[in-house]
Chain A
Amino acid sequence: MTYSIVAVDPATGARGVAVASKALCVGAHVPWGRAGLGALATQAWHDLRYGWEGLALLEEGLSAASIVQRLTYGDDDAPHRQIGIVDRNNRVASYTGSRCMPWAGGMCGAGYAVQGNILSGPQVVEAMAAKFESMAGEPFVHRLVQSLLAGDEAGGDRRGRQSAAVKVWRAEPAHKTDVDTIGDLRVDDAVRPVHELARLVPRLWLDYGTPLPKTALPLSGSTAKRVATALKAKSDDLEPELIRWASELNLESRLLPGRVDLTVLEVLESGVEATLDRAAAATPPEGWPA
């Protein structure tokens, strides 16, 4: 029915789930997590109770393996369930009930668990694990979605395709005005949902990413001229015009006082689509949501 990867990003401590299924809106049911505590995927003949009880157990500080035991203990339907978990200490566990529909199974590696059921075969989860391992150091949300894509290309759900999702939680709970997720994308019903999800990833980077203060240019001299030309600015007071332009394009999160982020400059001069194309083609850019 479903295949998923649950993992931690060693670079940032963020934890996430990527999942695909021949079911409507899989992203609404399978991925669960909390910043600083862990993440889990509950699937197969899944029980949403595993989601919120799993979170409560993560909060208690239980290990991934103990959480599997606690959830399945006393559950008559445990043989039909499948779970993947990464806990607050980055330990992982993957559980597949003995009566999940074939092919069903999972595997764990350092900081990740992959699992699936009603798959075309074990090569699906093997391809996901191999892809995830091969992308060490790359942006986490990109890595999760590419792992999912490798599973899709290795055969995926043997019944077909319908939906996909990726969700990433911060390493620590958010402060003040933000929430605990730094990436939350869904494709609820599509012919090629995992490819569609992969298409959204550079858009997430552009619209919700952070500016890079190190390489940002002061909004003066030749940079001011470039910005003024691109904006067709009517006055010398460029900053308010830049803010207005950025809010129309949802680029507010990339603004820096008195300076211009290089990605903002790129969008100004070559447009959104060209910037996205470059971001999708090149080595993944810096400045992901954080």
Chain B
Amino acid sequence: MTFSIVAFEPESESWGVAVASKCLAVGFAVPWGGARAGAVATQALANLSYGPDGVALLRSGRSASEVVKTLVSADKLASHRQLGVVDAKGHAANHTGSDCLPWAGGFTDGDVSLQGNILTGEQVLKAMHKAYRASTGETLQRRLLHAIEAGDAAGGDRRGRQSAAVRVWREGAAYGGGMDVAVDLRVDDSPAPIPELARLVELHNLYFCRPDPETLIEIDSELRREITAALSKLGYGPEKDFRDALARWIGTENFEERDVPGKIDPLVLDHLRNQVGAVHA
């Protein structure tokens, strides 16, 4: 029914889950986690309570293998369940019940757990693992996405495609800085959920990530003229001062996280130019 990857990334101190399935809204059921606690994927004939209960156990300091053992041993239908866990220290463990529909299985490698059921075969998980390891240096959400893309390309769910999701937890990471959910993106029902999820991951980067300071462009007098003209065409200014008009447009477009006074993010500038282009097209 489903293939997923659960991972801890030590470089960014982040935990994440990505998942794809031939079912409606897989992202509501499978991925669970918390910063400095760990992450859980619960699937197959999913025992959804494995999610919140697993995260509570992880928060209390249990290891991934203890969490798997605790959840599975208390469950009469454990042979139908599949579960992947990565704990606060980055140790991984998983469980595939003997009654999960074939092909079903999983494996762990250090800080990563891969698992799936009703797959075309084991090669799905191997391809996911390889893609994850090959993408070190990219953001965790992109690495998890690459794993899901590789699993899909290797055959994926043998019944087809419907939904996909990615979630990442990191201390103080959320929009506004008040929470631990760094990324939470879902495609609930689509003929091509994985390319659609990839599109969302890039949009998320644009809207919610801070700009790379190296790439910021100083607003000199020439650029200021261009931006003023662009904003005015879009109905911002010129009665207000330059900074005010730009801030208002940035607010309307939800680019607050990329707003740096005196400078402009190249991704934001591209968006502005595209918007003016669209108005005139």
Contacts and interface: CB of A to CB of B under 8 A. Distances in A.
Given A181-B28, A208-B24, A186 B178 contact: no
A47 B186 contact: no
A226 to B, nearest CB: 24
Contacts of A25: 184-186, 200, 204
Interface residues of A, number: 39
A178 B48 contact: yes
A159 interface: yes
A126 to B, nearest CB: 24
A199 B174 CA distance: 30
B138 to A, nearest CB: 20
Given A159-B252, A188-B187, A204 B48 contact: no
Interface in A108-132: 118
Contacts of A52: 179
B49 A177 contact: yes
B256 to A, nearest CB: 9
B23 A250 contact: yes
A52 B207 CA distance: 23
A229 interface: no
A184 B200 contact: no
A24 B256 CA distance: 13
Contacts of B49: 174, 176-179
Contacts of A27: 186
Given A185-B188, A250-B24, A177 B47 contact: yes
Interface in B246-277: 251-252, 254
A200 B52 contact: no
B106 interface: no
Contacts of B237: none
B176 A46 contact: yes
Given A52-B179, A186-B27, A250-B24, A24 B254 contact: yes
A65 interface: no
B154 interface: no
A134 B24 CA distance: 29
Contact of B176 (A48, A159, A174, A176): A48
Contact of A29 (B75, B175, B200): B175
Contact of B159 (A176, A189, A248): A248
A267 interface: no
Contact of A47 (B75, B178, B189, B208): B178
B181 interface: yes
A53 to B, nearest CB: 9
A204 B204 contact: no
A37 to B, nearest CB: 15
Contacts of A28: 181, 184-185
Given A29-B175, A46-B176, A203-B189, A179 B52 contact: yes
Contact of A188 (B29, B48, B77, B186): B186
A200 B186 CA distance: 13
A46 B174 CA distance: 12
A49 interface: yes
B179 A186 contact: no
A242 to B, nearest CB: 15
Contact of B200 (A23, A176, A188): A188
B101 interface: yes
A22 B45 CA distance: 36
B33 to A, nearest CB: 14
Given A247-B45, A248-B159, 18 more contacts: A22-B254, A23-B207, A23-B254, A24-B254, A25-B186, A25-B204, A46-B176, A49-B179, A51-B179, A174-B49, A177-B47, A179-B52, A181-B28, A188-B185, A188-B200, A189-B200, A247-B1, A247-B101
A-B residue pairs, 3 tightest by C-beta: A28-B184, A184-B28, A179-B48
Interface of B: 1, 22-25, 27-29, 45, 47-49, 51-52, 75, 77, 101, 159, 174-176, 178-179, 181, 184-189, 199-200, 203-204, 207-208, 251-252, 254
10 contacts: A24-B204, A101-B251, A177-B48, A178-B49, A179-B52, A181-B28, A186-B25, A189-B199, A203-B189, A248-B159
